[in-house]
Amino acid sequence: MTADTSGAAITFDKIGKSFPKKDGGLVMALEDVSLSVPPGTVTGIIGRSGAGKSTLLRMVNGLERPTSGRVLVGGRDVGAARGAELREIRRDVGMIFQHFNLLSSRTVQGNIALPLEIAGARNIAPRVAELIHRVGLTELRDRYPAELSGGQKQRVGIARALATSPKVLLSDEATSALDPETTQTVLALLAEINRDLGLTILLITHEMAVVRDIASHMAVIDGGRIVEAGATYDIFTHPQHPVTRSFLSGVTGLVLPAFIAGKIVAERPPGSSQEVIRITFAGQYATDPMLSLLTSQLGIPVNILAGAIEEVGPHPFGNLIVSLDAERGEEARAYLERHGLTTEVLGYVG
């Protein structure tokens, strides 16, 4: 995902953004960010607090303007747009929020009708009814936000964001205030909308599980820079950057068990020792009994220390942390790599 503007739903082209500080200096919120969001995808941007996610997302509907570079939505330069052109771009970009941002004085129907009223649309009622049906709230259409659960409020937020038939939906931590079960139902609704309407969804999150469950493409942002971007499956199976690895450790069994973490050293000690390696199984190899082959064909016994099988979209992959005789480590890794697995030496235990 580089800054290729051809056909992308959203293109960030060498974006920089600085904010003035109280003491007169500048905060660099974003530096040289280039990213293309393919149309019709769900793309996730993950980063820690303060990484620059919100600033980046808010540029897509012109709530923030870049200090340098361009943001294109459907080929139109958002930062340069003013007046009627900016309003037109904004109609193409819906947004949902962590805290829903509903009007407490309006019912479910009233909240969903609002963007249509602002746009001066006619014959609003059937459109509102259709949107309410899509998000499964027909029975609750006359309730006020205070009478709804968090998940129901987010459904109202989604219906409201869809009211003007946008081409792009921005999601700002839309499930962060919800419990895990409700998160799943809201993510399933977003996936359904993406599928049925062909809508491009760009979401920001600090949870790798959200990216895993819904996003086909992803980018990792750290300190205002994109450190890794691509297809979610590729990044989950071959993470390159330490920040990506640290996000992944929460969801993929990549964490060393405590009894090994306390003893592991980076350099192989003299004498007999065990090499600790992480093996990533992907695609067609995901379920192959490679470890038993290692033992039966090469005669190398393997201790399994930790592991998990994951799914990214429809694709399975697994991570195992194993230890084996350090003397045979190179040979074992070469064998596994020859059979399509990825290995990484994590260290040694004497």
Residue placing its CB nearer to ligand ATP in the complex, 94 or 224: 224
**Cα radius of gyration rounded to whole Å, the chain:** 24
Of the CA atoms within 13 Å of residue 172, those in its CB half-sphere come to 22
The verdict on 55 binding ligand ATP (CB under 6 A) reads: yes
In the complex, least distance from residue 237 CB atom to ligand ATP, rounded to whole angstroms: 25
The pairing of strands 76-77 and 225-231 is unpaired
Strand pairing class (342-349; 315-325) = unpaired
Least spacing, CB of residue 45 vs ligand ATP, in Å: 9
Q: State which residue, 69 or 329, has the beta carbon closest to ligand ATP.
A: 69
Q: With CB under 6 A as the contact rule, which of the stretches 46-54, 160-168, 264-272, 289-297 interacts with ligand ATP?
A: 46-54
Stretch that binds ligand ATP, among 51-59, 67-75, 116-124, 229-237 (CB under 6 A): 51-59
CA distance 12 to 32: 9
In the range 222-281, which residues lie near ligand ATP by CB under 6 A?
none
Look at phi and psi of residue 109 and say left if phi exceeds 0, alpha if psi is from -120 to 50, else beta.
alpha
CB of 93 to ligand ATP, least distance (A): 18
- When the beta carbons of 14 and 19 are compared against ligand ATP, the nearer one is 19
User: Cβ distance 204 to 32 under 8 Å?
Assistant: no
Q: Which is nearer to ligand ATP, 31 or 213 (CB)?
A: 31
Among 50, 242, 269, 350, binds ligand ATP (CB under 6 A): 50
Binding positions for ligand ATP, 15-34, rule CB under 6 A: 19, 27, 29
**Contact between 47 and ligand ATP (CB under 6 A)?**
yes
| Residue 175 binds ligand ATP, judged by CB under 6 A | no
Options 4-12, 49-57, 229-237, 317-325: segment touching ligand ATP (CB under 6 A): 49-57
202 binds ligand ATP (CB under 6 A): no
| Residues that contact ligand ATP, how many (by CB under 6 A) | 12
Q: Any contact of residue 54 with ligand ATP (CB under 6 A)?
A: yes
Residues paired with 320 in a beta bridge = 279, 307
Task: Tell me which stretch binds ligand ATP (CB under 6 A): 52-60, 71-79, 183-191, 266-274.
Answer: 52-60
Minimal distance, residue 187 CB to ligand ATP, in Å: 19
- The crossing angle, in degrees rounded to 10, of helices 108-118 and 124-134 is 130
Q: Which of 1, 15, 35, 51 binds ligand ATP (CB under 6 A)?
A: 51
Least gap, CB of 228 to ligand ATP (angstroms): 16
In the bound state with ligand ATP, the residue whose beta carbon lies nearer, of 224 and 318, is: 224
Angle, to 10 degrees, between the axis of helix 290-298 and the axis of helix 329-338?
130
Minimum Å gap between C-beta 293 and ligand ATP is 44
123 binds ligand ATP, rule: CB under 6 A? no
Q: Confirm or reject binding of residue 49 to ligand ATP (CB under 6 A).
A: yes
Q: CB under 6 A: which stretch of 50-58, 212-220, 275-283, 299-307 binds ligand ATP? A: 50-58
Residues that bind ligand ATP (CB under 6 A): 19, 27, 29, 47, 49-55, 206
